[in-house]
Each structure stands twice: as C-alpha cells, then as structure tokens.
Chains A and B, each alone.
Chain A
C-alpha cells in the first residue's frame, strides 16, 4: 500500500523553563485510502498532533513525511493537497459563506470555483444560507458545517478533521458521514479524524491510534482496540 504519511520519533513540548511534554515517541503511518482515527481523552495531544501535521506547530524533534516528502521543507506543495477543519474554528464572520468559500477557492487555485462551491453547499445542505446571510448570524451547528465546507474546497487528497462531528445535528452528521464515506471508499481520499468519542472513530475509521498523556498506547485496526481503553 502507498504510504501517504509517515511520522517517526515525534516529540513536542511547550514552555521553555518548565517544559510541558505533550507528545512523546510518536510513530505511525497512514496509507492511501485510510480512514484513520486519532483518539484519546481531552488533553491527550490529538489536536497538537493534527496541527503538527498541518505544519503550523513545530515539533521538538522527529521526522514527518507526507507524500514521501519532508513536511517542513515542502509546505506549499503539501498544503495544496491537504485540508483541515475543526468546529472550534470558524470562517470570517462578517461575510457570507459564498464570499468565504470564494476566497479559499482562489487561494487553492480552484479552476471551476462556482461548480465546486455549489457541490459542497449541496452536500452540507447550506445552499439556502450561502449568499443571503452573514456567518455571524449562523447557529453553532451551521457554523460547524460552514467550516467543514471550507475543508472540501480543494478536493484534498488528505483531509484532517478535528472532532468533525461535534456540534453537528443528527441530519448533518448523517449527510456529512455519508459524504466522507463516499470520498473515502469511492474516491480513495485519505481521511484523518480526531475524536474523544470512540463511537465516531468506530463508525468511520479502519485504523487508529489511541493517545494517552502524549504517548501512543494503541495502534492498529479499530476493531482490535482493547476494551479497557474504552471504559
């Protein structure tokens, strides 16, 4: 199988005088077409790990290769082929969703912007709100969908999603899950999701790592995870 992400001996701490170790001895691989879960309790290091993969947090040491290239030496290339979303982030509040998506479509150099945006809006059921409402008037759930829509703008080969199902209502969760499953199974997109909710990981991922206090305590198939980790 084609290895898309390779993480070796990753270590990260914050703070200078009293360093707080948040990730230690992290090793894992993600293959093309994987739906890969990163799970663990709050504060286990999931979000920091995801941000290191995005290249906006620098590790203390370790090696990260994405598409076979060193992440930090090929950021521009790698970022053109990945995308990210978290319901804890947002888009520009004083603009419409359409304006926001057009901005990002331009930044990713998308050719047929109009078609792509319309496709995304219909997947997330946001068509009725895209042009006539500023984002600041969106509900929390709609805002979460809006940020997810941004992540779909460049047809990313790797999609990194931080707690993607938090804040989504049942209907949106269902349609977004279906879309993710479709792009993962049919379009062979690689998807990495973090969640402290094992149900989300179980429903969606084939492989996973489980973090505890910054260390991987389980890596493998989702169905193989020891029950004691879930209690």
Chain B
C-alpha cells in the first residue's frame, strides 16, 4: 500500500517534470533536442578538422583556437545579454512598466544594443587579463589585428539578440530558453572552429548565408597565411546589413503579434 502511494507520488512528479512542463512549451521541447545535436555537431566537425590538420601537416594553431573562442564570445555574449536583460525584467514582472512609458520598442532595442556592448567591454577586461596571465596570449594585440572582423561579429551578435527579443515579444517570454541560445543553434553552421570545406551538404549551404562564417574563414586565412580575402569580409558586412534590416521588420511584426495576442498583460 505504502509502495503504491509512493509510486503514485513519483509518477505525479515525473509527469509534471517531463510531460506537463514540456507539452505546451515548444521552447522546452526544442531544448531536449538542441543540446545533444549542438554538442555532437560541434565536436564532431572539430574532430574532422583536427584530423585533416594533422594529416596534411598543418600545425594545430593554439592561437587560432583561442582567438576564435574569444571572437565567438562577442556574438554569444551580446546575443545572450540582449535577451537576458529583458527576461530578468519579465521574471520580475517589471517589463510592462517600460512598455507603457513614452518610449518606443526601437528606443528600448537601441539601449539594449549599447548596454550589451558596455557589459561586454567589462568581460573583455577580464578575458584580457586571464588570457595574458594564464596563456601568455595578448588578446588586445590580437583584437587590433582582427578589428574589422570583430565589428562584423558585433553587428551579427546584435542581429541575433534582436531576433531573440522579437521571439520574446511574440510569445511573452515563453520562448525564453530558445531566445537565450540562438547563437548556439547557429554555431555548428558558423565555421568557428573548423573550415567550411569539412561541412556536409546542408550544413555547408546554410553556412553560406551566415555572415560570421565568412569572418571565421577569413580569420583562418589571416592567421595561417597572413592574408585574408577583403571580398569575404565585405560580403559578411553586406549580409549583416541585410539581416539587420530584416530583423528590424521582424521585431515590429513580433511586437504587433505580442500586442494582438495580449502577451504583454502578464510580463
């Protein structure tokens, strides 16, 4: 009898944690698949790249790996920060208070872009010190060398952040998990740690549409051959501006949908 009661309680908890909490929440459902796929693809492609490097006699570049990691952090931190700043207010039930002040969503978005960059600058100071002290790698000199690449990445980080913000607007925070990890979803296609040439069919095709894949491809050229394709860099900027334009329209549309669906009543 006691065992039966215990099993009923256990069943209730598991049903709540697995079924009820995910069945009406696309974001949590997607999370179940995103993480394994992300880790498998990133480390799988990285292993392929590593194998190609050693077999072709290339020396694995520690500088490149650390540099790529550092530059990737631009995108990840900016995108996450834009979304998390809003989510913190939503969790406090304070976000509506901003929406009813005499500011527009564009004022709000612009302030998020600036504050995400300011916060990243603080992180950069820490990254600079840690890489210098622990790895004897001066990230500041590296940053000066790759400055145009960094600018392109910042713009794309912002674009992804505003995309996440739009999803939050449309769903009133229900897509908070997905909106927080958009940068990770696109990372396997972004050629951060491996060359585009090792990607299989559809992955490679998608990578052509991502401005950051051109940045990391050029960066590899710059580090290994001391040469980079200006055309690739310019193309990444062109794609960035197209996406920036599209994401502004998307933001407007999602804000409209959020208001239509009453998503701002309880945030």
Contacts and interface: CB of A to CB of B under 8 A. Distances in A.
Contacts of A57: 259-260, 262, 264-265
Nearest to A162: B265
A51 interface: yes
Given A56-B99, A57-B259, A48 B265 contact: yes
A107 B256 CA distance: 22
Interface stretch (B17-25, B87-95, B182-190): B87-95
A91 interface: yes
Contacts of B103: 76, 107
A191 B34 CA distance: 49
Given A14-B261, A90-B92, A93-B92, A76 B102 contact: yes
Interface in A62-77: 75-77
B97 A14 contact: no
Nearest to B259: A58
B54 interface: no
Given A57-B265, A92-B92, A84 B100 contact: yes
B205 interface: no
B120 to A, nearest CB: 20
A57 B89 CA distance: 19
B101 interface: yes
B265 to A, nearest CB: 5
Interface in A166-194: none
B98 A91 contact: no
A89 B94 contact: yes
A82 B92 CA distance: 22
B138 interface: no
Contacts of A54: 100
A76 B104 contact: yes
Nearest to A60: B260
Nearest to B91: A93
Given A51-B264, A92-B89, A108 B259 contact: no
Contacts of B265: 47-48, 51, 56-57
A104 B102 contact: no
B96 interface: yes
A92 to B, nearest CB: 5
Interface in A81-122: 82-84, 88-94, 104, 107-109
Contacts of B264: 51, 56-57
A126 B176 CA distance: 34
B94 A51 contact: no
A51 B97 CA distance: 12
Contacts of A80: 102
A51 B101 contact: no
A11 interface: no
B202 to A, nearest CB: 32
Given A89-B97, A92-B92, A51 B102 contact: no
Interface string A137-172: 000000000000010000000000000000000000
B72 to A, nearest CB: 29
A109 B266 CA distance: 26
Q: Which of A47, A84, A93, A108 is packed against the most chain B CB atoms within 10 Å?
A: A93
Interface in B81-124: 88-89, 92-94, 96-104
Interface of A: 14, 47-48, 51, 54-58, 75-77, 79-80, 82-84, 88-94, 104, 107-109, 150
Interface of B: 88-89, 92-94, 96-104, 256, 259-262, 264-266
11 contacts: A51-B262, A51-B265, A56-B96, A57-B260, A80-B102, A82-B100, A83-B100, A84-B100, A93-B92, A104-B101, A107-B102
Given A56-B96, A56-B264, 15 more contacts: A51-B262, A57-B264, A57-B265, A58-B259, A76-B103, A80-B102, A88-B93, A89-B94, A89-B96, A90-B92, A91-B94, A92-B88, A107-B102, A108-B102, A150-B97
Q: Identify the 6 closest CB pairs spanning chains A and B, nearest first.
A: A80-B102, A107-B101, A56-B264, A79-B102, A58-B259, A90-B93
